A and B are shown apart, each in its own frame.
Chain A
């Protein structure tokens, strides 16, 4: 999952960046509205966290401009004042949720999780596809009720695929959403991950949850239950 963080206070920006990266998100951080807008229009994000009081372009204008560019990823706003005028203005401009400063990173993570799930069209924090059960909050996978141990990258890949079920996800898209910008895109690594995932999810090869679409990418092909 690739996130955009736009926050002008450097300490807070670093904290957010670290906290989110630790959770397995790929984070681009911008220190003002202008840089934020550049990132938002230039790259494809799964969600953005935007502070309302930003230099260059204020948060509300930034959100409006992002929405005007037809970017539909969820936006979480951070507000220092915490009055309803700010909240309503931000949500009205196109944001999806707010967190009042000061906050704890856990709160951001929880809201973000909910937003990402909602954006993918899932109402519950658990994705269930046949025997596969992915808990987005605990970041845990069970198959037939048995916990499956996944590495961080394996989890990230599976989560991304399961949040876009039935869609063909190209290797480029996967790389973009799983790795930081400067990552050397070697698609062999992805193939290795997919192979390992398949083994872990479906050792007997009866389910075949991840399909390879030749020349195009991968598709999570189980039906939601």
Chain B
């Protein structure tokens, strides 16, 4: 696996894992504090409730005489009597400050004593967390109106918050360990899911390596639906590459073989030519030179034929594109009207502008170029072109007619003979139609030559 510097160097698995981990930590990092806060709030609310009960307890038992508060019997809550028990009671008023404190608070100094003069509205409570030097305390004050209906007092209970906080920190500890555990578990599951989910891709990569090594010739086996298309296309590409390679090989073979004959003829003539150099029958010599020239022309023809066959694309359907037939014809006509400007051909056309050819534009250009070139070359003054799309089969039909002399019946078969090795072509026989025929058949199309009512040839091409 590559570890390039750029983002493209990361594997799919590490990308997904990275994103998922980030999301997980973000989620847990938010969930933890929220839960902790909620827990603390509920603990504090619980503490406030408890303190409220203690205040009611004090209120139930307190007696007052001449501004002094006392209790007739021991308070139900023993913590009020126990020195430094952690639960302290106070009675105070705004004007006098502290009026009474419980036995437990005898040596206790609250972190902040301002609450003793605090005005708490009658019937209301005031809860506060008092952070101290070492400890933190909860305080609840309750404002009351004394029995005489005049005097107002505050009853305050302060409780050491340490036990509560230890509970909170216990909670926090267990919360985070649970969340951490969940994170680890989720990550592990994610890893497994990714492994499982990406395994077809890994399998495909391994298969491709096997193809590269030549152990296999295509992607076999079934892939998930999302990958099936890729696999099919890859197979098609591999297949088309293989066919192309095959074609190059045959072309090369054909080329080498077919060049041998003319080469042999020329090299056979050379000694004779050399002998006669001193001076000989000039008529014979010029005949021999003509033969050399003829053979050279033949070789050049062979080379162009094989060259065109080799570069011709191989009609692999799904990889090809749609080419507008009418537009291509216009393009070729534009070019040919220049070349044959002197002939001033009258070209009439009836074209279905929607007609499409599924394949390589180069191939269509080659077919139309050769056919139309022949029409311009052999036609006298008129050319008729018609393009129609055959809806039923999604194919197109192209007709090209001229008013020339047409193709003699005995030659008809020969000019369209496809795949003919160029060394079997007759002298002066053009390679154009053979190439056209090759291309059309490679697309499973049809081509035929008939007699046109214009007097010349009618070339009928059906492309799938």
Contacts and interface: CB of A to CB of B under 8 A. Distances in A.
Closest 6 CB pairs of A and B: A84-B369, A91-B335, A84-B365, A88-B335, A85-B362, A84-B366
Contact of B308 (A83, A92, A97): A83
Contact of A82 (B304, B332, B335, B339): B304
Contact of B338 (A82, A84, A96, A123): A96
A92 B368 CA distance: 16
B369 A92 contact: no
Secondary structure of the B contact surface, majority rule: helix
B11 interface: no
Interface string A84-102: 1101100110011110101
Majority secondary structure of chain A interface residues (helix, strand, loop or mixed) = mixed
Interface string B60-104: 000000000000000000000000000000000000000000000
14 contacts: A81-B307, A81-B311, A82-B307, A83-B308, A83-B311, A84-B368, A87-B369, A88-B335, A88-B365, A92-B331, A95-B338, A97-B339, A114-B342, A118-B341
Interface string B303-342: 0100110010000000000000000000110110011011
B232 interface: no
B365 A100 contact: no
Interface residues of A, number: 18
Nearest to A117: B342
B308 A82 contact: yes
B392 to A, nearest CB: 30
Contact of A83 (B331, B338, B362): B362
A100 B340 CA distance: 16
Tier of interface size on chain B: 20 to 34
Contact of A84 (B307, B341, B342, B370): B370
B300 interface: yes
A83 B362 CA distance: 8
A137 to B, nearest CB: 13
B435 to A, nearest CB: 9
B334 A91 contact: yes
Nearest to B335: A91
A100 B331 contact: no
Contacts of A85: 361-362, 365-366
Given A118-B341, A118-B342, A88 B369 contact: yes
Contacts of A92: 331, 334-335
Interface string A49-82: 0000000000000000000000000000000011
A95 B336 CA distance: 11
Nearest to B372: A84
With a 10 A CB-CB cut-off, give which of A87, A96, A97, A123 has the most chain B CB atoms: A87
Given A84-B362, A87-B335, A91-B339, 11 more contacts: A81-B307, A82-B307, A83-B311, A83-B366, A84-B365, A84-B369, A85-B361, A92-B334, A96-B338, A97-B338, A100-B304
Nearest to A82: B304
Interface string A198-220: 00000000000000000000000
A47 to B, nearest CB: 14
A87 B341 CA distance: 16
